[in-house]
């Protein structure tokens, strides 16, 4: 009897082992075109139970079909949420201005989600095969809708009034986020490659384009109102039209927002840039470049020569999202030779100089000046080259896929008792293709912090704003202002096992890793891993940065 019992147990364990292997194989190795049950498909998502409540309960389909179904359902949910927020805004007479601003943020973000999901659905509806850039496009859009959801939620939670609205929006907002996460997971497993084709590190900088070339002879003709199409010489920038902003009235406009309003709507990539040349001066205005204002290039006369400045802050009743002096959503935006400021000061807490949610955008030779939350790299794909960024608390934050290259990051003197943190990256989902890559930059103290004699200010490379926060410093100079531990917790052990923080081949007195944090998510990486976070691999920048004329290095030094 004992022998038979042992034999039966052995057979059961044998069956269970191979059944488990089959399940594992179904999650990772089965071809996306193979019919599978909803349960098997959902096992590849962060929330299988919710996923199974979303997908059809009968029959079987393949991952492609489940992905399309989920994206279609997500689009319907995004439209309903926009209508819900619209309804509250139409009856907002009893709300505070802060609550109205939070709702307006949610409306803008939900409208963007509808656009992004429509675009994603259009791309995947007719094919199981996507080009590399198409795959990255869709994954980027699906990543951004989760960021938009989180931003809406953060704004509502920070609003001290209108509890009934917050409570009534929380459930549809939360369920929408869970559904969008399912869509991203199913798309990633079906269409995105299991591992990107990584270019191996080279001993040179890769593809370095010459600095942005704008024909100065053409600049001299600006005031005549002539249109210009630059020649198709290598590295030239194609410009469809040019307007001048000059405070003395000698240009086409005296303020920047009027020039933005004059730009044509929904231009195509190959139409060329609408170039706004902003002459030297201090422009006290709030500039917003909407989603339909695409392919705008803004050229100033240099850092501290052309200055755009404002002072909105959370303390004064703005959400972090709409506290920005300069906000851009229209894709393929390029800014060159401009200083962006928020002068609210450290006592006003969150006060954004630039909020960037423009896909395939680039800033070159620009300066960003503020204290807490200076540069909001909100979402989508971004690149910064030869820029200066000044701040105190979390002063580079957001959830874009962004590379900073050859930039200067300056920690300023904060309020007494405050801690400086260079980055607070906001990735909320393991399938988002987002993160902050700091490559060949200089990380140091600004003049006011360097001159402080008490030496009591602690300064850190970053802290995890959200659960899957991802930040990499590589081949950068890190000065002694950075605490030897390098990184700061957000709250207790939140995200310490799920974040991804990494350092590679940095130099300087603050670059030593012997005393760094021992978190599960912290890594000292090699060249192969670091290559994943280069312009070429992380942003696929070789395919879209060249037409901007902004110089860039594709790979590691």
Cβ–Cβ < 8 Å for 503, 482 = no
Separation CA 493–CA 354 (nearest Å): 31
HEC secondary structure over 393-419: CCCEEECCEEEEECCEEEECCCCCCCC
Separation CA 475–CA 114 (nearest Å): 39
HEC secondary structure over 77-130: HHHHHHHHHHHHHHCCCCCCHHHHHHHHHHHHHHHHHHHHHHHHHHHHCCCCCC
Work out the end-to-end distance of the chain between its first and last CA atoms, rounded to an integer number of angstroms.
70
Could you tell me which of 411, 484, 421, 399 has the C-alpha nearest to residue 449?
411
Separation CA 401–CA 378 (nearest Å): 9
Catalytic residues: 394
> Residues near 197 by Cβ (< 8 Å), separated by ≥ 6?
132
Spatial strand order of the sheet with 296-299 comes to 239-245, 273-278, 296-299, 334-336, 361-364, 381-385, 401-405, 435-439, 470-474, 500-504, 522-524
Angle at alpha carbon of residue 258, lines to 325 and 227, rounded to 5°: 120
């Amino acid at each position: 009897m004992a022998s038979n019992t042992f034999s039966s147990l052995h057979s059961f364990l044998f069956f269970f082992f191979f059944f488990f292997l089959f399940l594992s194989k179904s999650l990772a190795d089965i071809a996306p075109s193979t019919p599978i049950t909803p349960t098997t498909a959902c096992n590849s998502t962060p929330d299988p139970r919710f996923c199974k409540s979303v997908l059809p309960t009968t029959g079987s389909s393949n991952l492609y079909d489940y992905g399309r179904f989920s994206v279609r359902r997500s689009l319907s949910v995004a439209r309903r949420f926009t209508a819900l927020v619209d309804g509250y805004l139409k009856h907002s007479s009893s709300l505070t201005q802060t609550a109205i601003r939070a709702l307006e943020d949610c409306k803008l973000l939900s409208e963007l989600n509808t656009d992004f999901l429509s675009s994603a659905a259009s791309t995947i509806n007719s094919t199981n095969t996507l080009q590399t850039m198409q795959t990255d496009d869709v994954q980027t859009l699906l990543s951004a809708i989760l960021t938009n959801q989180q931003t809406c939620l953060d704004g509502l939670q920070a609003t001290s009034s209108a509890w009934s609205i917050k409570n009534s929006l929380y459930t549809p907002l939360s369920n929408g986020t869970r559904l969008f996460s399912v869509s991203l997971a199913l798309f990633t497993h079906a269409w995105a490659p299991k591992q990107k084709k990584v270019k191996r590190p080279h001993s040179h900088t890769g593809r370095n384009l010459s600095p942005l070339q704008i024909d100065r002879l053409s600049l001299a003709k600006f005031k005549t109102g002539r249109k210009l199409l630059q020649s198709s010489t290598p590295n030239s920038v194609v410009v469809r039209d040019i307007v001048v902003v000059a405070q003395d009235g000698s240009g086409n406009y005296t303020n920047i927002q009027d020039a933005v309003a004059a730009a044509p709507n929904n231009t195509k990539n190959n139409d060329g840039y609408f170039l706004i040349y902003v002459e030297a001066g201090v422009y006290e205005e709030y500039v917003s470049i909407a989603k339909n204002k695409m392919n705008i290039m803004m050229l100033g006369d240099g850092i501290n020569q052309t200055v755009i400045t404002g002072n909105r802050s959370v303390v004064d009743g703005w959400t972090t999202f709409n506290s920005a002096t300069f906000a851009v959503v229209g894709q393929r935006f390029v800014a060159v030779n401009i200083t962006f400021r928020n002068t609210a000061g450290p006592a006003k807490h969150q006060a954004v100089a630039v909020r960037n949610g423009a896909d395939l955008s680039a800033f070159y030779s620009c300066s960003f000046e503020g204290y807490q939350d200076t540069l909001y790299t909100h979402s989508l794909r971004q690149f910064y080259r030869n820029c200066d960024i000044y701040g105190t608390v979390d002063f580079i934050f957001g959830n874009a896929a962004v590379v900073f290259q050859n930039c200067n990051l300056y920690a300023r003197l904060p309020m007494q008792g405050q801690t400086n943190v260079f980055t607070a990256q906001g990735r909320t989902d393991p399938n988002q293709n987002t993160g902050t890559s700091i490559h060949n930059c200089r990380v140091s103290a600004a003049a006011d912090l360097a001159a402080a004699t008490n030496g009591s200010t602690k300064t850190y490379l970053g802290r995890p704003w959200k659960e899957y926060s991802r930040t990499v410093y590589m081949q950068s100079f890190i000065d002694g202002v950075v605490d030897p531990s390098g990184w700061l917790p957000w709250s207790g052990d939140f995200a310490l096992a799920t974040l991804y923080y990494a350092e590679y081949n940095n130099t300087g007195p603050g670059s030593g890793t012997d005393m760094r944090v021992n978190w599960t998510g912290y890594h000292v990486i090699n060249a192969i891993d670091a290559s994943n976070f280069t312009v070429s691999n992380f942003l696929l920048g070789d395919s879209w940065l060249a037409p901007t004329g902004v110089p860039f290095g594709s790979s590691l030094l």
